[in-house]
Amino acid sequence: MKKGKVYLIGAGPGDPKLITVRGLECLKECDVVVYDRLASPRLLRHLKPGTEKIYVGKLPDRHTMKQEEINQLLVDLALQGKTVTRLKGGDPTIFGRVGEEAELLYDNGIEFEIVPGITSAIAVPAYAGIPVTHRDLASSLSIITGHESPDKLDRSIHWDKVTNATGTLIFLMGVAKIGYIADQLIKHGKPPETPVALIRWGTRVEQRTVVGTLATIEAVVNEAQFKPPAVIVVGEVVLQREKLQWYERKPLFGTRVLVTRARAQASELAEQIEALGGEPCEFPVIEISETAEPEAVAALRDALSQAERYDWVVFTSVNGVDYFFRWLQKLKVDVRRFHGAKVAAVGPRTAAALAERGLTAEELPAKFHAEGLLEQLGPELKPGQTVLLPRGDLARELLPRELSAKGLIPVEIDVYETKLAEGQDELALEWLKEKNIHLITFTSSSTVTNLMEVLKRNGIDNPAGLLSGIPVASIGPVTSKTVREAGLEVAIEAEDSTLDGLLQAIINDNKKRKHTTLGGRD
């Protein structure tokens, strides 16, 4: 059997976007990934279907697999002809023991490639607003392991040389030894007032930073009940944090948000959450697809063949616009046949989707839902007019009912259907169970009902009980009503029923909570 190949990859410090382009390429190609605790689990979403996942990470109180066993595991997998990715936190060559793994691969004649990663030694301080060098403060740095017993530290570290060798000292994995490290640095010449910072889970939503001096840092760490993993920075560069802590000042910093939108649409909301400093956790519970029911397709075909009869075409969602034009193309209906109809849209995004296709919406309601549209169009709507409503199969009946009550003729067509999505991320489900989700977003009533159903299908008998205590952000009053009917409470409701309105409401709520707590969420 032909031998496989092993990629020894640095995953970066935690933020999944900090992996290198080459590292991501290797991750997507592999047959099996061997990963540890410090590599972001969100990176595993890039694996191709069927990729084997083997966790070999270490926890503070136990080792799941000894290093020698990991080394042999990589050899065994490659000898089976598999392409293997060994995913390690930070950079694999900096205290990552990549040399031991690569050496055994070499001894067994297995091809390997070392893919560098961004080391936590520089990235984590940067995310805390601490540049490890500075023209006026430090022109050099040392990176030192702190994850040893005091006697081993004394054997591996020449304190008399290290203490004043460089402007900045970076200790990795040394939280439990911070008192001893500080004492040794003072003993060998560092002033007790030298600034010190510890950054826990840097670049992640859990990032937390404490600052003190060599004289005070042990007490600061103990009082804060600060736990590993963390990077320790010693030197005057720590003072830069007061001005430069850009990441922790982002409006959604420290907030992990569950995004329940359809997979095709979730990325837009997720990207905006990420840009605002939050961490999106995509858990799509709805799936949007072209209408397939024969009766619905027949009705749609008949309605579109009579394009000239409509006085209005009213769109209530971006999906309605997208799938309407797909059907026009599929059925070869020329959009110019609707020349006698006025076009209306609910919300600016729906209007923008129309504008991309060269159509300008006649009216935009001040409130972005069906009730607002009816209120805005009231004077324009005349009895006897025919209104085409391209919508989804789960659309509310309010709009056609009210149009009928006003003497108009609504013609509903289901241009798309909403189904229960499958194949949700197991990590997101675990985070929900462990209350590691800080906020749940709902952008439609179907996302609410489908989330409850998905949880039931995953063995959760009482979904409302599982979700209790996690704040809910709703896109508007209609969705909020469904949230309450599901047994949940609405903590945040958008004033404008749009994604931008939802995000703004979340930002406002975050600001309010940070003003009423000491330092906000850790």
pLDDT for res 45: 85
pLDDT at 517 over 60: no
The percent of residues in the chain predicted with pLDDT above 70, rounded, is 93
pLDDT tens-digit series, residues 210-261? 999 999 999 999 999 999 989 999 999 999 999 999 999 999 999 999 999 8
pLDDT for res 146: 79
pLDDT bucket at 331, cuts 50 / 70 / 90:
very high
- Of 284, 259, 322, 304, nearest to 420 (Cα)? 284
* CATH number for the domain running over 122-249: 3.30.950.10
How many residues belong to the chain?
Answer: 522
Q: Which of 3, 58, 342, 419 is catalytic?
A: 58
Q: Which architecture characterizes domain 256-285+421-516 according to CATH?
A: 3-Layer(aba) Sandwich (3.40)
Mean pLDDT of the chain: 89
pTM for the model: 0.81
Measured between alpha carbons, how far is 365 from 160 in angstroms, rounded to an integer?
A: 72
The domains spanning 5-118 and 290-420 adopt the same CATH topology: no
> What is the mean pLDDT of the segment spanning 196-218?
96
> What is the mean pLDDT of the segment spanning 183-193?
96
pLDDT for res 314: 92
pLDDT for res 58: 60
pLDDT bucket at 363, cuts 50 / 70 / 90:
low
Give whole-number Cα distances, 393 to 368, 388, 419, 484, in Å. 20, 15, 10, 23
pLDDT for res 522: 39
pLDDT tens-digit series, residues 68-103? 999 999 999 999 999 999 999 999 999 888 999 999
pLDDT for res 348: 83
pLDDT for res 521: 41
Residue 152: active-site member: no
SS3 for 279? strand
Q: Which of 5, 15, 36, 190 is catalytic?
A: 36
Classify each residue of 226-253 as buried b or exposed e, where b means 16 or more C-beta atoms within 10 Å of its C-beta: beebbbbbbbebbebbeeebebbebbbb
Strands in 203-336 per DSSP E: 208-213, 230-234, 256-259, 279-282, 286-290, 312-315
Give whole-number Cα distances, 59 to 12, 62, 228, 241, in Å. 18, 5, 10, 30
Residue 496: active-site member: no
pLDDT at 277 over 50: yes
pLDDT for res 130: 98
pLDDT tens-digit series, residues 491-514? 999 998 888 899 999 999 988 877
Residue 58: active-site member: yes
Question: Crossing angle, helix 318-330 and helix 294-304, to 10 degrees?
Answer: 80
pLDDT for res 373: 65
Domain boundaries, the chain: 5-118, 122-249, 256-285+421-516, 290-420
pLDDT for res 427: 80
pLDDT tens-digit series, residues 423-476? 777 888 889 999 999 999 999 899 999 999 999 999 999 999 999 999 999 999
pLDDT at 483 over 90: yes
pLDDT for res 520: 42
pLDDT for res 469: 92
Classify each residue of 358-395 as buried b or exposed e, where b means 16 or more C-beta atoms within 10 Å of its C-beta: ebebbbbbebbbbbbbbebbeeebeeebbbbbbbbeeb
pLDDT at 313 over 50: yes
pLDDT for res 62: 52
Measured between alpha carbons, how far is 377 from 34 in angstroms, rounded to an integer?
A: 59
Whether the CB-CB separation of 47 and 28 falls below 8 Å is answered with: yes
Q: Which of 173, 177, 190, 496 is catalytic?
A: 173
pLDDT for res 173: 84
pLDDT for res 519: 43
pLDDT bucket at 371, cuts 50 / 70 / 90:
low
pLDDT at 263 over 80: no
CATH 3.40.640.10 fits 5-118, yes or no: no
pLDDT at 60 over 70: no
* CATH number for the domain running over 290-420: 3.40.50.10090
Integer-rounded Cα Rg, in Å, for the chain is 29
pLDDT at 143 over 70: yes
